[in-house]
Structure 1
Amino acid sequence: MKHPELQTQLQQLCTKLQSFQFGIGGSCLLWHLGLEASPNDIDMVCTEADFAAICDTLKADDFMAQNAAPHPQYMSVHFCRFSQKGWPDIELMAGIAVKQHDELVHWTFKPRQCHWQNQICWMPPADWLQLYQLFNRPQRVAQLKRYLLELTLQSLNNS
């Protein structure tokens, strides 16, 4: 796995937040799965109940909260971008909702579906397939569909 610094940063972040319900996804998850060469930020989804406490923990660790301009389609209950020198930005979100055709479509985070591997709490690829569909990211959808299809085919070949 390339980017040992990112691996270490994700481990430090997850260790610090292990008492909360959250998962790492987005381009970091794609990187973890071998689908992305270099993630541009750390996408983290958490429960609405843990959002404020995770924000406080990050701020206490010298991460600066950045004001994000409102997005015309993304209507999540909670969203905050954090930055710190030497780190990729962290985008923390909870209560995810997207406006589609004048309708608000909600997505429910299920922390029990996340799994820990090498001290990092990863969200399932199937969750990010749903999120990328919701966020209208067709290239990411295609990447994850191919990945999940290959997993299914491998599983069938091995049974």
Structure 2
Amino acid sequence: MKHPELKTQLQQLCALLQPFQFGIGGSCLLWQLGLEAAPNDIDIVCAEADFAAICAVLNANFSLQPVAPHPLYMSAHFCRFSRSGWPDIELMAGIAVAQQQQQQQWTFVPQRCHWQDGICWMPPADWLQLYQLFNRPERVAQLRRYLVQLRLNSLS
């Protein structure tokens, strides 16, 4: 893992949030898997029941940023935080996206997350589903290649 400061930041963040049900995903997950050189931000998905409490913890340590509504992303909860020297943090729960005049929902299952080196990671398969939902074909292709290679390696 390059960028030791990011690893330290993720560990600090996860230590703050440890009592709650959450997982780190997005470009940080791709970075951890060796698929991304430099994450854009820190994506945290959490249980809807923990969203307000996690927001309060983050708000005490970071600055809440205004977020313009997105025409397709219909998640029940979303907020962005920033702090000097840190990537932005995006917290989301109750994820839903408008597709073909319907709302497609995705359910977070915290039991699928795993802790490694003090960081709570979401599974790559979950982010494959999320990137499909978010219509991010490049990310979908990256994760599909990774998961296929992982399966091939496990068969060897």
Q: Return the offset for 1:67.
A: 1.2
- Corresponding residue for 2:124? 125
Query: How far apart, CA to CA, are the structure 2 residues paired with 1:53 and 1:142?
Result: 35
Query: How far apart, CA to CA, are the structure 2 residues paired with 1:43 and 1:76?
Result: 14
- Corresponding residue for 2:58? 58
Q: Return the offset for 1:59.
A: 1.1
Secondary structure in structure 2 of the residue aligned to 1:14: helix
- Corresponding residue for 2:100? 101
Query: How far apart, CA to CA, are the structure 1 residues paired with 2:148 and 2:99?
Result: 27
- Corresponding residue for 2:48? 48
- The C-alpha deviation readout for 1:53-84, integer Å capped at 9, x for no partner, is 001001112x1111110001000000000001
Q: Return the offset for 1:11.
A: 0.2
Query: How far apart, CA to CA, are the structure 2 residues paired with 1:129 and 1:91?
Result: 18
Residues 1:113 and 2:112 aligned together: yes
Structure 1 stretches of at least 4 aligned residues deviating more than 4 Å after TM superposition: none
Structure 2 unaligned runs (5+)?
A: none
Q: Return the offset for 1:6.
A: 0.2
TM-score, normalised by the number of residues in structure 2: 0.99
- The C-alpha deviation readout for 1:68-119, integer Å capped at 9, x for no partner, is 1000100000000000111100000000000000000000000000000000
- Name the Cα RMSD after superposition: 0.4
Query: How far apart, CA to CA, are the structure 2 residues paired with 1:91 and 1:17?
Result: 14
Residue 96 of structure 2 aligns with an amino acid whose one-letter code is A
Query: How far apart, CA to CA, are the structure 2 residues paired with 1:133 and 1:81?
Result: 22
TM-score, normalised by the number of residues in structure 1: 0.97
Query: How far apart, CA to CA, are the structure 1 residues paired with 2:44 and 2:65?
Result: 15
- Corresponding residue for 1:22? 22
Structure 1 unaligned runs (5+)?
A: none
Total equivalences in the alignment? 156
Secondary structure in structure 1 of the residue aligned to 2:147: helix
Query: How far apart, CA to CA, are the structure 2 residues paired with 1:44 and 1:101?
Result: 27
Query: How far apart, CA to CA, are the structure 1 residues paired with 2:131 and 2:90?
Result: 15
> Kindly, what percent of the aligned residue pairs are identical?
75
Query: How far apart, CA to CA, are the structure 1 residues paired with 2:7 and 2:106?
Result: 28
